[in-house]
Structure 1
Amino acid sequence: MFNLVRQKLIRHKTIKALSPLILLLATALWCVGLGWGMAFALDPIPSRYENGRDLYLENCSGCHIAIPPEVMPTQTWKQLLENPEDHYGRSLTNLIRITQLLIWDYLSAYSRPLTTNEPIPLLIEQSRYFKALHPRVQFSEPVTADACVKCHPGVAQFDYRTLTPEWQDAP
């Protein structure tokens, strides 16, 4: 009887001693799995914004690449959508009001506002958000939406995370 109690006590102590190790191992595996999954996923967006994103990509990438909303401030997007008849010297006649509203809903949710008294940038290279996202990049020519593909080969799929080899390990 004494041996049986002693064996149960030893087994209980062994399990108790291993519990933190098992918990640590399980947590590590969970973190690795979660990180692995997130590393290969583009940012998912709520279904509320999917139509706006799709319309943005469809309407904007027909003439130039569609830049991510966070590259330009909210006020720039607002100005561009409110004046479709003067879009950098071109008229966007096929942009109907409901399309504008859905695109605006998406762009306003994923862009950032300007600070008080900050001028509204109309060109990519004037945007402080663009500069913040590209701190080490020196441009030898004016920045255009079509120039992004030089460093971001996945822009056709709206993938700005994939970089050319020279920028892969850039801080």
Structure 2
Amino acid sequence: MTHDLVSTLRPLLSAEASAEAYASGTDPGDLEQAVWLRLLERLDSDGPPVDPQGWLRRTVRSEVRRSRRTTRLERPYETEPTDHGAPGPEQLALAAARRRTLRDAVRRLPGRCPRLMEALLSPKDLTYREIAGELGMSQGSLGPERSRCLGCLRRLLTPEVAARGGRG
């Protein structure tokens, strides 16, 4: 029943939507989708319309009026709402994933490297003197140790970076 109704109404809806849409500044495809939605809502509540063609014409015109009203009342933003300088959810998720990957790689480093790298990555922004005191190392050995640890970290992360870069 519904399939027959849709098959019967499809050409009429396409013609009506094309005729009405351009005059109102609405996209014909959007108008068709809105009318199909109204038909589905009607089928759920009242069943099929008694006069499907008449119902379709009235509904197309009703949706065009609704579209005009919406266009008249809505004003576009000067900028996108998310363009306020702060990173969006996608950027935040990607940054969190990068931090997790880095922290996981730091934990796999040999010897004193995990503790040293954690101290260097600390949000406390520790000085070399503070890091040396915390790790029980001389301040002069931090530079060479850091360099060795960064080399190990680079080797650990190279497969991660190479695997990600190969996509898409």
What TM-score results when the alignment is normalised by the length of structure 2?
A: 0.23
Return the structure number with greater helix share.
Answer: 2
Higher RCO (CA-CA < 8 Å; seq separation 6+): 1
